[in-house]
Structure 1
Amino acid sequence: MIQQNVLDKFKELFGADGDIRVYFAPGRVNLIGEHTDYNGGHVFPCALTIGTYMAARKRDDRKLRFYSMNFDNLGVVESSLDEFTPDPDGLWINYPMGVMWAFEGRGMKLESGLDIVLFGNIPNGSGLSSSASLEVVTGYMLKDIYGFDVTNQDIALIGQYSENNYNGCNCGIMDQFASAMGKKDNAIFLDCNTLDFEYAPIVLDGAKIVVTNSMVKHSLVTSAYNDRRNESAQALKDLQTVCDIKTLGDLTDEEFEAHKDAIKDEVARKRGKHAVYENQRTIKAVKALKENDIETFGKLMNASHVSLRDDYETSCPEVDVLVDEAWKIPGVIGSRITGGGFGGCTVSIVKDEAIDQFKANLTKAYEEKVGKTPEFYVVSIGDGPSRLA
């Protein structure tokens, strides 16, 4: 059992005395609604049953000691509550340190240090949001150990703030929100502009959600992610000269087409088109799901990938191979890239009887065309963060 392994490692490294607590926060997969969160649109993610496990115990000084079972070659990494400076080498401790920094910035002072052991079973760089999971498990741990009065939604917002301002990645709210607010067997239909949300049951009679890892790692901080945000912001700024809007998510497809010539830069126009159309696709997809029209949901997933490939340009040749091959297989209802892009994973809805064929065909084609072997996860939708018994 993973939590026992984490606890055993903690005791081996830091001793078995005192009040050691173990926590979990999930990763997420986004079914549709990509790069809409920071453009004031809707997203439709769900929390997974894979994520980040953390064992933690208070210290009686201000020292912080971190150990990741995923990066055991780094050993125990030491810091302190007096050293909130991001590590220039991009060490993973920047994520929990950033959350602690953000808590303190909100007046929630950490009066003593911590010993922490972590293990994540989200593949690193897969686009299933290991960073948000780490931020949320840290926030949930701080809330529990220090008794801070924060909600799970607050933890999501603190996680996003820390990633924007401590780690330098200008991410939207979706990843942290999905991890912090997850609900078993439900996806979250979230308006990222207002944070209004509803849970939508995922009932896929005779089909499963399959995540396929391209084994191409992405890094949002060093990728073109921030460029896409800036290009979208330029599209919005130009449109605001002719439309009374606050975000790109305020526009329908038709309104965008009527006013798109106000966007002078061709690249910015493509980015704006994706943000508007993807938001409308997401709204239509959730409606289709509520009406048990899974075929329409799948077609909208496919259209989402085309838009991310051509207009937002956040796919990559390896991921396009996975999607193109998936579309050829009978029983694949829909398939698209998921997450920030530039590598990572695809998400597909596959009929039960087609799953073996799906895995076999994609593996064969991917090995031939890319020279890598993809990994597959038939995923379950889980709850948000918790303290484990």
Structure 2
Amino acid sequence: MTEKYDELIQIFEKKFHHYPTDKFFSPGRINLIGEHTDYNGGHVFPASITIGTYGVASCRSDRQIKIYSLNFPDDGVISFDVDDESQLPNASWGNFVKGVLQALRGYGNQLTCGFELVVLGNIPNGSGLSSSSSLELLIGSVAQKLYSLKIPRLQLVACGQRAENDFIGVHTGIMDQFAIGFGEKNRAVYLDTKTMMYEMVPINLGSYVVVIMNTNKRRELTESKYNERVRETQEAVYQLQPFMNIQYLGEIEKNDFDKYAHILSSDTLRKRVRHIVYENERTKKGVTALKNDNLVAFGQLMNESHSSLKNDYEVSGIELDTLVETAQSVDGVLGSRMTGAGFGGCAIALVHSDAVKRLEKKVSEKYETSIGYAPSFYVAKVGDGAHWAGSVVEGEPK
């Protein structure tokens, strides 16, 4: 971690000819179970991880924002006025910065000056580990520190979601930003996305670990069928409301779904609702299983979750299915499922630490044979949420 800040400080000094004042970190996230339930008022169970987005920044004396990313060096230094609410062209990563600042203004916060910022993320872009939300909460943390904003953490989380929904145009729920904003080391966030009530649940896996398996197939949410799934679930709510007093599909119990499923106008909508209702139930059971140290039960729920995401919600694909179904066949793996929005990205596996190498070997061989290129693997470590990481000492790096 120190090496990353050293690199960022060097680049900052080269680009802006002075040292930054502050360091920041914002993690990525995995979702253990509870997929596509967040924008349906259901329960989710994500955790922040120790890979993420690093930044160094300082205030300016004028109202110019100047930002540079080591992940997008060809974009150079992006500059705009802090009050400028227009979109940057060509889907620039700077739009995430502008979106968060716009959302902060919308809550009445005063952005008193411009700033300079250099960032570096080690979350693979488009991997499903929420690199965009990681950047959004980094920007929120930068603004909170540099502008001395006395605002609750939930407002920063909401600003990240509003940037995604209103400025970028992807109709995500709040799970990613919430997990990154509220994350704690060795704890997962059990969140009711309807009420915003949450519980931090200790992750006690004993001799097991969570392995992230990356398809290395990039996916863009705005180019995927993500927004289509949002529209489908909204249409299902509309069709069910004359018969059920609901605002979200996450309010529906399994027995009620079985009773009213015939009301829905198509088999496609029935499948979409069935996934949400049953996934919400699986999430509740999964939290109970982890609290009771029943990893076998949790692994089985992971397997059921992926099957539902593949067959009912139809957000998987050959790459994710190859990773997951191969992992499920490996001795020492208790369960595996895609994580994140789908359409590419990553899957996770709950695997005995002695079986990690076996998992990587078998999955790699099958994946390269079926898909034509190699996947990547990371052992997930659950870490703290987005935060100010300290002041920069003049003269760093040594």
Normalised by the size of structure 2, how large is the TM-score?
0.96
Superposed CA offset, 1:273-306 (max 9, x none)? 1111100000011011111111010000000001
What residue in structure 2 maps to residue 337 of structure 1? 338
Q: CA–CA distance in 2 between the matches of 1:329 and 1:253?
A: 32
Give the drift of 1:353: 1.3
The equivalences for 1:11-160 within 5 A come to 11-17=13-19, 20-160=21-161
Q: Which moved more, 1:287-296 or 1:84-93?
A: 84-93
> Does residue 263 of the first structure (1) align with residue 264 of the second (2)?
yes
> 1:264 is matched by which residue type in structure 2?
S
Give the drift of 1:223: 1.1
The equivalences for 1:289-328 within 5 A come to 289-328=290-329
> 1:2 is matched by which residue type in structure 2?
K
Q: CA–CA distance in 2 between the matches of 1:237 and 1:331?
A: 44
Aligned residue for 2:188, secondary structure, equals strand
Aligned residue for 2:109, secondary structure, equals coil
Aligned residue for 2:8, secondary structure, equals helix
How many equivalent residue pairs? 388
> 1:61 is matched by which residue type in structure 2?
D
Superposed CA offset, 1:2-37 (max 9, x none)? 1221122111111225x6211001110000000000
Aligned residue for 2:135, secondary structure, equals helix
> 2:254 is matched by which residue type in structure 1?
D
* From 10, 13, 21, the counterpart of 1:8: 10
Q: CA–CA distance in 2 between the matches of 1:377 and 1:66?
A: 29
Q: Which moved more, 1:245-254 or 1:274-283?
A: 245-254
> 2:322 is matched by which residue type in structure 1?
V
Q: CA–CA distance in 1 between the matches of 2:345 and 2:366?
A: 17
Q: CA–CA distance in 2 between the matches of 1:87 and 1:341?
A: 27
Aligned residue for 1:53, secondary structure, equals strand
Give the drift of 1:250: 1.1
Give the drift of 1:105: 1.7
What residue in structure 2 maps to residue 278 of structure 1? 279
Aligned residue for 2:168, secondary structure, equals coil
Aligned residue for 2:163, secondary structure, equals helix
Aligned residue for 1:103, secondary structure, equals helix
> 2:182 is matched by which residue type in structure 1?
M
Q: Which moved more, 1:373-382 or 1:87-96?
A: 87-96
Q: CA–CA distance in 2 between the matches of 1:383 and 1:39?
A: 26
Superposed CA offset, 1:77-112 (max 9, x none)? 122223221224111111111001111122212121
Q: CA–CA distance in 2 between the matches of 1:82 and 1:44?
A: 36
Q: CA–CA distance in 2 between the matches of 1:88 and 1:258?
A: 49
What residue in structure 1 maps to residue 237 of structure 2? 236
Maintained 8 Å contact 1:35/1:275: yes
Maintained 8 Å contact 1:49/1:379: yes
> Does residue 178 of the first structure (1) align with residue 200 of the second (2)?
no
Give the drift of 1:73: 1.7
Maintained 8 Å contact 1:241/1:262: no
> 1:34 is matched by which residue type in structure 2?
E
Aligned residue for 2:221, secondary structure, equals coil
Superposed CA offset, 1:63-85 (max 9, x none)? 11110001112211122223221
Aligned residue for 2:218, secondary structure, equals coil
Uncovered stretches (5+) of structure 1, i.e. residues with no partner: none
The equivalences for 1:206-225 within 5 A come to 206-225=207-226
Q: CA–CA distance in 2 between the matches of 1:244 and 1:128?
A: 35
Give the drift of 1:371: 0.5
Q: CA–CA distance in 1 between the matches of 2:273 and 2:235?
A: 9
Q: Which moved more, 1:309-318 or 1:82-91?
A: 82-91
The equivalences for 1:197-212 within 5 A come to 197-212=198-213
Aligned residue for 1:128, secondary structure, equals coil
**CA RMSD, aligned part only?**
1.0
> 1:69 is matched by which residue type in structure 2?
L
Uncovered stretches (5+) of structure 2, i.e. residues with no partner: 391-398
What residue in structure 2 maps to residue 249 of structure 1? 250
Q: CA–CA distance in 1 between the matches of 2:224 and 2:388?
A: 34
Aligned residue for 1:32, secondary structure, equals coil
